[in-house]
Amino acid sequence: MIRALLERFRQKHRTVAYPARPPTIPERYRGEPELAPEKCAAGCAACAAACPVGALELAPGAIRIDLGKCLFCGDCAAACPTGAIRFTRDHRVAARRRGELVAGSPERRLAQTLDAKMKSLFGRSLKLRQVSAGGCNACEADTNVLSTVVFDLGRFGIQFVASPRHADGLLITGPVTENMALALKKTYAALPEPRLVIAVGACAISGGPYAGHAEVRNGADAVVPVDLYIPGCPPHPVAILDGLLRLLGRLDESR
């Protein structure tokens, strides 16, 4: 016990300062893409051909990337000969509606706060039941780490609970396999109303690399209504935290 206390004293304060201060993001992190369609070479479609999940669409004078499908692999940026696509380290990627996840589209918009009634209910205390609907455990791992001392999700009044009966909403990962579809429906039905649903990761939003397979439902919103989409493969823990705080109206900054 003494050794544990001494080690804790040596490590000092470990919790990240976000959102009071900008988060420390790894240099290799890929976040919100920066698109420059004016740089596109005529007739070039190398970026679209390189995308493994068909997330990128080219139109005259426009590049659009569906972040709900995107794996943030960077293949499109690497294939582009003119530098028209660049992934920034901007962790702010969550959106409330599926159409608002398309970078380069006029509909692109960051997640907005819940309405006044829902915010009054959940703004200071939100209990979530996490459901892995066929995930590979990457999104699950980056979600679970939010409960550690580094991110300390509980300081915002957000906690994961063991039963949907004790929860205000679901946090779903994975493409929703056929074997998990009924379980997800029953878990959603067990939530007391009003309730929230959060889809985390490309699989939970669109099916990810498994989209179109006969054994998956291509995302959570094929089974239950979704209130918040947090893209990534997997999303960085700060990206997940940012989306949750935006939903609850706990961030002053917006764009």
Give me the domains of the chain, ranges plus CATH numbers. Answer: 116-247 (3.40.50.12280)
Q: Rounded mean pLDDT of 159-187?
A: 97
> What integer best gives the mean pLDDT of the chain?
94
Confidence bin at 170 (pLDDT 50/70/90): very high
Residue 255: per-residue pLDDT: 39
Instruction: Using the predicted structure, report yes or no on whether residue 254 has a pLDDT greater than 80.
Output: no
What are 11-62's pLDDT values in tens digits?
A: 776 798 899 999 999 999 999 999 999 999 988 999 999 999 999 999 999 9
Residue 4: per-residue pLDDT: 77
- Model confidence, pTM: 0.93
What are 71-127's pLDDT values in tens digits?
A: 999 999 999 999 999 999 999 999 999 999 999 999 999 999 999 999 999 999 999
Residue 33: per-residue pLDDT: 98
Residue 5: per-residue pLDDT: 76
Helix/strand/coil (H/E/C) assignment for every residue in the chain: CHHHHHHHHHHCCCCCCCCCCCCCCCCCCCCCEEECHHHCCCCCCHHHHHCCCCCEEEECCEEEEECCCCCCCCHHHHHCCCCCEEECCCCCCCECCHHHHEECCCCCCCCCCCCHHHHHHHCCCEEEEEEECCCCCHHHHHHHHHHCCCCCHHHHCEEECCCHHHCCEEEEECCCEHHHHHHHHHHHHHCCCCCEEEEECHHHHHCHHHCCCCCECCCHHHCCCCCEEECCCCCCHHHHHHHHHHHCCCCCCCC
Residue 1: per-residue pLDDT: 81
